[in-house]
Amino acid sequence: MTTGVSTMSELAWVPQSCTLPTEERPLRVAEWDGLFAERLASLSRPGPLRLHLDLAGGPGVEERVRDLVEWESGCCSFLSFTVTPGEDLIGLDIAVDQQHEAVLEALAARTAVGGQR
């Protein structure tokens, strides 16, 4: 049973370069997990350093995505985000440099699991 709150052992993939305080990480992960569980329509890997997500739109969804992207960009500068608004779907592209490919792989796996909930 998933509680929506991540344990620290589930966050082992978060790299040392993330500047978000350790105690705040489970809450941030839970916010992303909630978004993926509610809105993930599709996920693809256009390349080893890029993840593309389509999220179902709706009232306030684009703002929610943009807020999460802004917060994440503030602590994980190695992640690059592009939000593409649409009528029914919101595109979210996440890219990393070669050094953080494993982080993107872990994020893709976590996103896929969250979208299946």
Which domains, ranges and CATH numbers included, belong to the chain? Answer: 41-117 (3.30.70)
- What is the tens place of the pLDDT at every residue in 29-55? 788 889 999 999 999 999 999 999 999
Whether 56 shows a pLDDT value over 60: the answer reads yes
Residues ≥6 apart with Cβ < 8 Å to 72? 28, 32, 79, 81
Please give the average per-residue pLDDT across 13-31, as a whole number. 62
pLDDT at 4: 41
Widest CA span of the chain, in angstroms?
A: 38
Question: Taking the model in full, what pTM does it have?
Answer: 0.79
- What is the tens place of the pLDDT at every residue in 61-100? 999 999 999 988 887 788 899 999 988 999 999 999 999 8
